[in-house]
Structure 1
């Protein structure tokens, strides 16, 4: 009887602690998929803008801001130097796209 109570208590605490590893992996995969789709849509709009002879810079800015946020977040959490380097490069590119967007409008 005592074992059943302990087992139930452990399971109850496990459910209260939040998502399990499988759920966390699915959530992470969902964010990765959403980011990939978002970047693909940005690329689609960039190509459409170029074909129509319109300003593609805002879409480039969106894609670069996404990359900047991703790499800098990974750097903060994992402290890997290459994430910091790519994050800084993406941030510089984002600033350039922002300036080009402002100047072009």
Structure 2
């Protein structure tokens, strides 16, 4: 005996073919190659874009640091002027006494 009888509604599937059409194989490898090329080009575009963004952010950070340094110097100048007023020292003498000539130097 060869086993239980087959049901009349059973679907009979043909065995898979072992050979693939050369046209289909060519199409697959062409699509793979084009995908790799597209990915390489797109990666280069994205890298350039992000390099521009990083450069812009760096310029912005440098400008922010320069502005912070300028603000800090201005606050130090104002603090020294206030201190000289409180202590009642003339401006030129106070600058020399406190050793803050570099704060009031132009440039």
Greater RCO, CA 8 A, separation 6+: 1
**Normalised by the size of structure 2, how large is the TM-score?**
0.45
Between Structure 1 and Structure 2, the one with more helix by share is 1
**Normalised by the size of structure 1, how large is the TM-score?**
0.46
**Structure of higher CA gyration radius:** 2
